[in-house]
A and B are shown apart, each in its own frame.
Chain A
Amino acid sequence: MTTPLAIETQALTKQYPGVRAIDGLDLAVPTGAICALIGRNGAGKTTAMRTLFGMIRPTSGRATVLGLPVEDRHAAVAIRRRAAFVDPAALYPWMTVRELLRLARTCNADWDRAREAAGLAVLDLPLARRVSALSRGMRVKLALLIALARNAELFLFDEPTEGLDPVVRRQVLHALVAANATRGATLLVSSHQLAELEEIANWLCLMDRGRLVLAGDMDDIRATHHRVDAAWPAQCPATLAAASGVVSARINGAFATLIVAGDAHMALSGLGATIQDIRPATLAEIVLAHVGREHDEAEWVSTGAADALA
């Protein structure tokens, strides 16, 4: 039996004048997963998340969230009832914490007062203070408390731990994992904090230039990606980077550091290489291998464009 999908998109595209923010995105996030949505700045992560939440209208393609089509106006309301988009910067700055909680309580029929009370006791939020006077960490805690007390089935987080101190960051991550573990909520977390995501996520979606370049179970992806240090008797073959299974290759004369997907030995068997070291790739190495575009940057530097700009 296959796990039902909390989020599914098919050929989802968002075209702005002069730029395609999402380009045929095919996303599939299973229910109950903690999905890390990763990509470079401008990869289309935020656009994708906002499209899923009905804030941005897609140019083409289709998307369903919790089995409901986001394009449908009434289905979008049902999605917003069952899902939470957590953005600490979006909280009304002119409201006090108490007023904001009251508003959220009255707007959400499934509000869990017990969870709100428990959260307030743990998170130490000043009820009488205006949101504009809260620190970044406090705002994140408040946004998180509202999302958790709403009893949402799906949480969309855009950079939840950016700019937080280690203690608050730990609290936030703990709350996210607890929501997933105790209630089976699905989490879609967009962040550049790869070490954190590696720690909590069990599903990976890697985006680049509006497209999905890698997706799947985090353990499977890590198990199939290896970092390989290889050497050749003379020069590395010119076709190395294009070899089957080789995701990226950093070449230095007769030596190369490769990120290989699948069986590394098989990938390098026909290339005459001596494997010096092989180990599982970290998430950061996998991400860099898929979206790093080191060649582009090296080419840019070598053409003298940087000097010209300087």
Chain B
Amino acid sequence: MLWRKHWLQLRWLTLAGAVLLTVIAWITVDGQRSASFASDVAEIATALPGTVTRYTVPSPFTRYLEAHALGGPLQALLIGLALCIGVGGPGFERSGTTAVFTLSLPYTRRRLVLGRFLAAATVIALLSIFVVLLIAALAAFEGQGAEFPFAEALAIGVCLASGAIAVLSLSFLLANVTGNTIATLASAIVILIVVSMVVGAAYDRWWRTPNIWLQVAAPFDYMRLMGAKDFTATSRLPWPRIGAALALSGALAVATVAWVERQDF
């Protein structure tokens, strides 16, 4: 019922996100193909009267993806999309005029808030998984399917999605508290920068300083999660980080419900 409303609200942003992610996927696969071409250089050079002055062993597809996409433009774009898609909900509508219509629908505020949150979370999760599956499909099309199998792509998609949902839930809470798009995005970006600095420091010092607070903070390194660093290093899903991200998302969604339920419209 309300899913349709949420979809109509998010459709253009979703479509724009899908287009941008497709472009990034294409650039990523194209860039990896160019990089892998270097492996043929040595062989070509021996057949010709030339000298190889510089030669770097190309990294596997997953490593390339981690270094050039997941840790760069792909992650940045997904964070940006999560922030934008998270802007909404009854509390946010209070600044406009539509909150009255939303709250006149025969549903509890909890259901209205959680419905909007779940719809947005589903959209960002699907976009996250879509882009890595698209990269895997393009890689297969380029004859590099063995380098980046779909199972690996799906695992990386799960990492991306859980991190993106955590970012989205932060944006969702801020949007419902401030009721202002600019204030939401600005404050969310500041919080994300601070968190990345703190949890980054936590991870770096994890083994050196046995500080309990840093150990608690370390699983919330959303950039490491979205960068799939743990997965590419161990080929195993980082369940503690995924769990921490989803638990944080749930907590922020519950906080949003509590906030909206206390508000007058």
Contacts and interface: CB of A to CB of B under 8 A. Distances in A.
A84 B106 CA distance: 10
Contacts of A106: 1, 4
Given A55-B265, A99-B8, A103-B4, A108 B106 contact: yes
B108 A73 contact: yes
A80 interface: yes
A59 to B, nearest CB: 10
Among B4, B102, B108, B264: residue with most chain A CB under 10 A: B264
Interface stretch (A23-31, A63-71, A85-93, A211-219): A85-93
B104 A80 contact: yes
A53 interface: yes
A99 B11 CA distance: 13
Interface string A88-114: 011111110001001100111000000
A198 B162 CA distance: 60
B207 interface: no
Interface string B91-104: 00000011111111
Contacts of B108: 73-74, 76-77
A107 B106 contact: yes
Interface in B1-57: 1-2, 4-5, 8-9
A50 interface: yes
A44 interface: no
Contacts of A57: 262, 264
Contacts of A301: none
B2 A107 contact: yes
B105 interface: yes
A204 B259 CA distance: 37
A89 B97 contact: yes
Contacts, number: 67
Interface residues of B, number: 22
Contacts of A56: 264-265
A80 B104 CA distance: 6
Contacts of B99: 55, 90
Contact of B105 (A50, A94, A95, A107): A107
A192 interface: no
Contacts of A103: 4-5, 8
Given A89-B97, A90-B100, A92-B98, A80 B4 contact: no
B107 interface: yes
Contacts of A91: 98, 101
Interface in A32-59: 50, 53-57
A56 B100 CA distance: 11
Contacts of B262: 57
A26 to B, nearest CB: 21
Contact of A77 (B1, B4, B97, B107): B107
A81 interface: yes
Given A55-B264, A92-B98, A84 B4 contact: no
B106 A81 contact: yes
Contacts of B8: 94-95, 99, 103
A99 B107 CA distance: 19
B185 to A, nearest CB: 19
A310 B5 CA distance: 51
B96 to A, nearest CB: 9
A115 to B, nearest CB: 18
B98 A93 contact: yes
A95 B4 CA distance: 11
Interface of A: 50, 53-57, 73-74, 76-78, 80-81, 84-85, 87, 89-95, 99, 102-103, 106-108
28 contacts: A50-B100, A53-B104, A54-B103, A56-B264, A73-B108, A73-B109, A77-B108, A78-B106, A80-B104, A80-B106, A80-B107, A81-B106, A84-B104, A87-B101, A87-B104, A90-B97, A90-B99, A90-B101, A90-B102, A90-B104, A91-B98, A92-B5, A92-B101, A94-B8, A95-B8, A103-B4, A106-B4, A108-B106
**Closest 5 A-B residue pairs measured CB to CB?**
A90-B100, A90-B101, A81-B106, A55-B265, A56-B264
